[in-house]
Structure 1
Amino acid sequence: MTSRASIVSGVLAAAAAIAAGEGLAALFSLRESPLLAVGQTVIELTPGPIAEGIIGVVGQADKPLAIASVVVAILLLGSLVGRWWLPHRLRAFLLVTALVVLTSAAVLSRPYGGVAGVFVSVAAGVVVLGVLELLLRERRHVQADIARRSFIRTAAVIAVATVFVGAAGEVMASRRRRRQAVEQVRASLKLPSRSAAVPAGADLGVTGQSPWLSTNRDFYRIDTALQPPLIDPEGWTLRIHGMVDRELTLTYQDLLDRGLEDAWITICCVSNPVGGDLIGNTVWGGVPIKDILAEVGIQDGADALLSTSDDGWNCGTPLEALTDGRNALLALTMNGEPLPIPHGFPVRQVVPGLYGYVSATKWVVDWEITRFADFEAYWTQRGWGERGPIKTESRIDVPGNGETVDAGMTTVAGVAWAQQVGVEGVEIRIDGGQWQKATLGKAPNVDTWVQWTTQWDAEPGEHLIEARATNADGVPQTEEVADVLPDGATGYPRIGVKVT
C-alpha cells in the first residue's frame, strides 16, 4: 500500500510540476514552456530513420504524439522518483536534479531560451520535491491509519492538482490570446491578391478524386514546430548575408512594395510514400526569389542558400533552383489569403521542383548565401539527401485500396506530377497486363500536378491496379521501389480491389 501510494504521489508530483511550469511560462510570457522546449529537443535528437518511421505511421499527428510522449515520460519518471522518495531519498533527489539540468539545457538550446526559462525549469523541480514531501512526510503509521491517511493524502493532491490545472489552463489562454492577436492582424491585411479560379479543364470532377485545388484547411502540414511561431508582420524581417556583394534586410512592407506575383505550384514532402497524401496544390502569391538574389549579388563559388526559420529550423537550397527562372517565391499568400499561421505566416519559401525539406522554409527570417560544403542543414544531418529534386510520380485515388466495386465499366482516377518538366501521359495496368492510356486534365504550367482518369471493364474477382506517369521528356516513372530516405520514395502506386 505504501509503495503504491509513493508511486501515485510521484506521478501526481510530476503532473503538478508540468502544470506549474506551464503556468509560470504564461506568467513570464515565454515563447516556449520548458515542456515544449524538451519536446522540440527530443524531435531534434531523433535520428532520421526513426523520425521518418514515426511520420510514416502517424502522419500529420506527429506533433500531438510528441507532446503526449514527453508528458508520459515525465509522469513515468515521476513515479520512479516517488517510489524512491522514502527508501532512497538521495537517489530521488539526484534524479530530479538531473531532470532539471536536462530541461534547462533544452531551454537554453532553443532560439527563445533564456534565464526565465531556466528559472521555470528549476521551479518545476522544486514543485516535485515539495509535493512529494507534502504527501509522503508521514513515514511511520500503524496499519489502521493507512486507509484514512491515504484518503486525506489523495484529497490534498486533488486540491493541489486542481490549482495547477487551473494554471495550465491559463497558459493555454495566454497562448490563445497571442494567437488571436496575430490572427486579427492577419485578417486585417489587405494584400494585392485574391483567390484564383481553377483553370478550365484542370479539375475532372471525378467523385473521390483529389480536388485539383487543395484548400488551405486541407493542405498537408509537416514541420518540426510543436507550436508554430506567432509573428506580427510589422516586426518581421529577413536578413540576407553571406557570400553577397551587398547585405540586405527586408521588411514585410518591403515585399509588398515590390509587388506580388501569383503562381500555381504543387509542393510535396519527402516523407510522402508512393501513393501518399503529403502533397498539395494551390496558388501562391509572393516575390520572386531570383529578383532579390540579383539585387544582393551572388559571389563566385556560392552554390547554396541556407534559410533559417524563426524557430531555428534550417535547410539548404541549391542556388541554381532559385535563379533558373522557375517560380521560386518568398510567399505571402496562399489561395488568395495571407498565409495561415501553420503554413508560415507571415512569409515562407515555395520552390517548385524540390521537396520541402530542402526548400520550403516557413516563418523564414534569415538567408545566408553560402556553399553546401560549408554546412549541414537540419534534415541532411539526419540522413536525407542534399538537394532533393521531386521525382515523377502518380497516385491512384479511385477506387480506394481494398474497395469492392461492381463488375462492368469502372472509373479509375488519380493525380500525377513531374515538376519542371510536366506530365505527358499516365497509364494504368490490371494484374500486370498491358498498359492502358488515361485521359489527362489540363494544367496551367509544369509545376502543378495533373488529374487523370480512365475507364476499366472490371471482371469479377480480385485485381491489382498499377499506374505510372511519363514526363514531357518521355521518361517514365520508375518501377524500382525505394524508401523515402534519402531523397524520396519511388515505385508504381498499387491498389487491390475486389469486383463482384
Structure 2
Amino acid sequence: MKTTRGAWALAGVLAGAAGLATSYVTANVLSIRQSPVVAIAEDIIRLTPGDVAETAIDVLGHADKPVLIAGIMVFLVLMFAVVGLLARRTWWAPTLVFLALALVGGLAVLLPKGSGNATDALPVAVGFVTWLIGLSVLVAPLRKAEDAGAASDDPAYDGDDATRRGFLIGAGVMAGSIGVLTVVGRLVGAGRREVERLRNLLRLTGVTQPELPPGALVGVDDVTPWMTKADDFYRIDTTIATPVIDPTEWSLRIHGMVDREVVITFDELNELEKTEAWVTLNCVSNPVGGNLIGNAWWSGVRVATLLERVGVQAGAEAVLQTSDDGWTCVTPLEVLTDDRNAMLAVAMNGDPLPIEHGFPVRTLVPGLYGYVSATKWVVDFEVTRFADAQGYWTPKGWGERGPVKMSSRIDVPGSGDSVDAGEVVFAGIAWAQHTGIATVEVAIDGGAWQEGVVAHPGTDDTWVQWRAVADVEPGDHVVRVRATDKDGLVQTGTVADVLPDGATGWHGIDFSASS
C-alpha cells in the first residue's frame, strides 16, 4: 500500500479527536465542569485585554464564545494533522507535541483556581494516553506498508490487502469510537438535567409573583415591555461551561475582615426573611441605545442582613465576590449596606433563578453595573479593602466602582421607519437607577427640546417608559432623546465609549415622514 501524506494526517486527526472525546467523557463522568477545551477557552477570555474583549462582544454578540470554541477546535485539528505527518518520520516529535498540548490543557484546568486538585486534571491525562494509543494503532499499518514498499524491488508495489484493511479498519473503529464516546459523554452528563429537576421542585419561601406597578406604562405599542422575561434577559458572562449547582450542595462563605466567619447553606438562606423588588440590570458594555439591559422582579435576602450576622470590622471598604466558575468582582461595602436593597437573589420573576442567570443564588445591587456587582453562581464573600483585592475586569482597564450612568433610548419609531407627517408619537425607556428619572425630552433635527411624559412605577431602581408627541413635516429627520434625573442632572450629550465605565451620549434615530 502506498501511503500518502493524507493518510498520515488523518491518523493524527483521528487519534487527537479520540483523545478529546475521552477527556470530555471523563470530565462528565467525574462531574468536572471544565473539559480541557473549555478550560483553555475560559483562560483565553480571562487573559484577553479589556478593549479586545469589548470589540469581540460588539462584533460577535452572544456568538463570541461559540466562535472562540470553533477557533480552538480548528487549531487543534491542524495540530493533530501535523502530529500525524511527524509520526511518519519519528516517534519522539509527535509525542512531544501531544505532551505540550496536554500540559497546556492541564495548566488551563488547574491554574485559574489554584486548586491543585489532581482529579481536575484527570481528563487531560486520559486524553493524552488515548492520543498515544490511538496514534500507535493507526500508524502501525501505515509504517508496515512503507517498510514493505522500501524492501520491495518492484516500484509498483502496493502492499497487501491485509495491510490496507488494517488501516481502514483501525480508522473506522477510531471514528466510530469518537462518535460513541461523544454520545456517552452527553448521556452521562446528566448533572444539568438533575439540577433542572431540583430547580423545578424547589419551594422558595417568601417569593411572590410579579405584578405590574400602577403607572408603569405609557400606553404605546412596541415600546419595551415593563418586565423582561427570563428567556429574553441579556446574558453577558465569561464562562464557557455554565456552572450547574445542586442547591443542596451550595453554600456561601463570608470571611475576611469580619468578627465571625460564617458559611450559609441554601436551606438556611431560604428560611431567612425575603426582600423583593423590581430592579433593572445593565451591562457596562451596553452602547448608547443598546439592548444589554433588562428589568425583572427579583426575590432574595438582603446582603446587609448577612453582613450584620458576621460583624464587619472597622476599615473594611468592599466585598470581593467569587463565583463558582472563579469569576470575581469587588463591590463597595457602602452599596451593599445602604437602602438600595442589595440582595442575594434566589428568584427571578417569581420563579427560581434560571441556571444561566445564576441558579441557585446570585448577587444583585441596584444602581451598579454588573461587572462590579452582579455575581452569578456566587459562593464566596470576602470582606476586604479596595487596596487588597481586584476583580476580574478592573485589571483590564475598567473602572473600580461602576455606578450606572443615566441614559435614555428611543424604541418608537424604529430606526429607518416611515411615519405619517403631523403629530408623531415617540416612545422608549430611560433610567437613572437609585436616583430616578424626572423628565424626558426629544429634539427633532437639532431643534428645541420638547418635554414628554414619564411613567411613574413607584421605584427609582428601574427603567421607566416615556412618550412624547411632536409635529413633524414631510421628509427625512433625526430625533434624539435626553433625560433629567430627580436631582436635576441633565443627561450629557458628550459621546463616550463603554470603556472604562459605561457609554454616554444621546440616542438618536433616523426616520422619514410622508403626507
> So what's the TM-score if we normalise by structure 2?
0.91
1:289 aligns with 2:291: no
Contact 2:137/2:170 (CA < 8 Å) preserved in 1? no
Give the corresponding residue for 1:448.
Answer: 462
Give the corresponding residue for 2:57.
Answer: 55
Aligned match of 2:135 in 105, 118, 132?
A: 132
Task: Summarize the alignment of residues 390-409 of structure 1 with structure 2, pairs less than 5 Å apart.
Answer: 390-409=404-423
Contact 2:15/2:130 (CA < 8 Å) preserved in 1? yes
Choose 1 or 2 for highest CA Rg. 2
Give the corresponding residue for 1:185.
Answer: 198
1:115: Cα distance to partner?
2.1
Secondary structure of residue in 1 paired with 2:232: coil
Distance in 2 (alpha carbons) for counterparts of 1:78 and 1:356: 40
Give the corresponding residue for 1:322.
Answer: 336
Give the corresponding residue for 2:25.
Answer: 23
Distance in 2 (alpha carbons) for counterparts of 1:136 and 1:430: 72
Distance in 2 (alpha carbons) for counterparts of 1:55 and 1:233: 31
1:75 aligns with 2:77: yes
Secondary structure of residue in 1 paired with 2:280: strand
Identity of counterpart residues, as a percentage?
Answer: 47
1:388: Cα distance to partner?
0.3
1:369: Cα distance to partner?
0.7
Distance in 2 (alpha carbons) for counterparts of 1:403 and 1:422: 30
Give the corresponding residue for 2:152.
Answer: none
1:143: Cα distance to partner?
6.2
Deviations 1:4-57 (A, max 9, x none): 333344333332222121122233332322222222222212222111111112
Deviations 1:230-272 (A, max 9, x none): 2222222111111112222212222222211111111111111
Task: Summarize the alignment of residues 112-127 of structure 1 with structure 2, pairs less than 5 Å apart.
Answer: 114-127=117-130
Task: Summarize the alignment of residues 213-228 of structure 1 with structure 2, pairs less than 5 Å apart.
Answer: 213-228=227-242
Letter in 2 for 1:20: T
Distance in 1 (alpha carbons) for counterparts of 2:498 and 2:168: 50
1:103 aligns with 2:116: no
Letter in 1 for 2:496: A
1:70: Cα distance to partner?
2.3
Give the corresponding residue for 1:12.
Answer: 14
Give the corresponding residue for 1:467.
Answer: 481
Provide closer, same or farther for how the CA distance between residues 118 and 236 of structure 1 changes in structure 2, counting only shifts above 3 A.
closer
Contact 1:288/1:330 (CA < 8 Å) preserved in 2? yes
- Higher deviation after alignment, 321-330 or 400-409: 400-409
- Higher deviation after alignment, 444-453 or 180-189: 180-189
**Aligned pairs, how many?**
499
Secondary structure of residue in 1 paired with 2:231: coil
Provide closer, same or farther for how the CA distance between residues 126 and 461 of structure 1 changes in structure 2, counting only shifts above 3 A.
farther
1:152: Cα distance to partner?
7.5
Aligned match of 1:366 in 380, 387, 398?
A: 380
Contact 1:398/1:414 (CA < 8 Å) preserved in 2? yes
Contact 1:416/1:450 (CA < 8 Å) preserved in 2? yes
Distance in 1 (alpha carbons) for counterparts of 2:28 and 2:69: 18
| Unaligned segments of structure 1, at least 5 residues | none
Give the corresponding residue for 1:196.
Answer: 210
Give the corresponding residue for 1:313.
Answer: 327
Provide closer, same or farther for how the CA distance between residues 123 and 256 of structure 1 changes in structure 2, counting only shifts above 3 A.
closer
Distance in 1 (alpha carbons) for counterparts of 2:220 and 2:38: 43
Contact 1:229/1:310 (CA < 8 Å) preserved in 2? yes
Letter in 2 for 1:294: E
Task: Summarize the alignment of residues 209-248 of structure 1 with structure 2, pairs less than 5 Å apart.
Answer: 209-248=223-262
1:263 aligns with 2:265: no
Deviations 1:289-336 (A, max 9, x none): 122222322211110011111121111000111122111111111111
Letter in 1 for 2:331: T
Contact 2:26/2:122 (CA < 8 Å) preserved in 1? no
Distance in 1 (alpha carbons) for counterparts of 2:66 and 2:391: 25
Distance in 2 (alpha carbons) for counterparts of 1:457 and 1:169: 62
Letter in 1 for 2:14: L
Task: Summarize the alignment of residues 419-438 of structure 1 with structure 2, pairs less than 5 Å apart.
Answer: 419-438=433-452
Distance in 1 (alpha carbons) for counterparts of 2:90 and 2:219: 68
Provide closer, same or farther for how the CA distance between residues 117 and 408 of structure 1 changes in structure 2, counting only shifts above 3 A.
same
Distance in 1 (alpha carbons) for counterparts of 2:128 and 2:24: 13
Distance in 1 (alpha carbons) for counterparts of 2:17 and 2:217: 51
Letter in 1 for 2:216: A
Letter in 2 for 1:41: D
Provide closer, same or farther for how the CA distance between residues 9 and 466 of structure 1 changes in structure 2, counting only shifts above 3 A.
farther
Distance in 1 (alpha carbons) for counterparts of 2:484 and 2:167: 70
Give the corresponding residue for 2:43.
Answer: 41
Provide closer, same or farther for how the CA distance between residues 205 and 146 of structure 1 changes in structure 2, counting only shifts above 3 A.
farther
CA-based RMSD of the aligned residues comes to: 2.4
- Higher deviation after alignment, 30-39 or 474-483: 30-39
1:206 aligns with 2:220: yes
- Higher deviation after alignment, 318-327 or 224-233: 224-233
Distance in 1 (alpha carbons) for counterparts of 2:36 and 2:505: 43
Distance in 2 (alpha carbons) for counterparts of 1:71 and 1:31: 19
| Unaligned segments of structure 2, at least 5 residues | 150-154
Aligned match of 1:413 in 427, 441, 462?
A: 427
Secondary structure of residue in 2 paired with 1:454: strand
1:406: Cα distance to partner?
4.3
Secondary structure of residue in 2 paired with 1:217: helix
Distance in 1 (alpha carbons) for counterparts of 2:159 and 2:437: 75
Contact 1:290/1:325 (CA < 8 Å) preserved in 2? no
1:80: Cα distance to partner?
2.5
1:475: Cα distance to partner?
0.9
Letter in 2 for 1:235: E
Letter in 2 for 1:324: D
Contact 2:27/2:34 (CA < 8 Å) preserved in 1? yes
Distance in 1 (alpha carbons) for counterparts of 2:57 and 2:211: 33
1:457: Cα distance to partner?
3.6
Distance in 2 (alpha carbons) for counterparts of 1:39 and 1:103: 10
Secondary structure of residue in 1 paired with 2:319: strand
Distance in 2 (alpha carbons) for counterparts of 1:68 and 1:361: 27
Contact 1:409/1:457 (CA < 8 Å) preserved in 2? yes
Deviations 1:82-123 (A, max 9, x none): 333324653333221111111111121254773234232133
